[in-house]
Amino acid sequence: MNKTLNLLCDLLIIVAAVSLVLGIITRIVESAIIFGVTSQAFLQFTQGLLLFAIALGIRGLLKK
């Protein structure tokens, strides 16, 4: 894979992990901590980031 594409995939996975942790924390606390964002929104954002990282990874593999 291209170095830039690989770096982008890694960055998306890291941001998704942070978002997942924030989603779990807001679910446990049962309140919107950051800017009124709910845990459901954090978890949906995590899903989107991970799907995008998977799509970029598959694209990189298919280019070879």
Query: What pLDDT is stored for residue 53 in this prediction?
Result: 94
**What pLDDT was estimated at residue 1?**
55
Residue 18: alpha-carbon gap to chain centroid: 8
Which residues, 6+ apart, have CB-to-CB distance to 55 below 8 Å? Answer: none
Collect all residues with Cβ–Cβ distance below 8 Å to 13 and sequence separation of at least 6: 49, 50, 53
DSSP annotation of 31: S
Residue 2 confidence class, pLDDT cut points 50, 70, 90: confident
Q: What is the pLDDT of residues 9-64, one digit of tens each?
A: 999 999 999 999 988 988 888 776 777 788 888 999 999 999 999 999 999 888 87
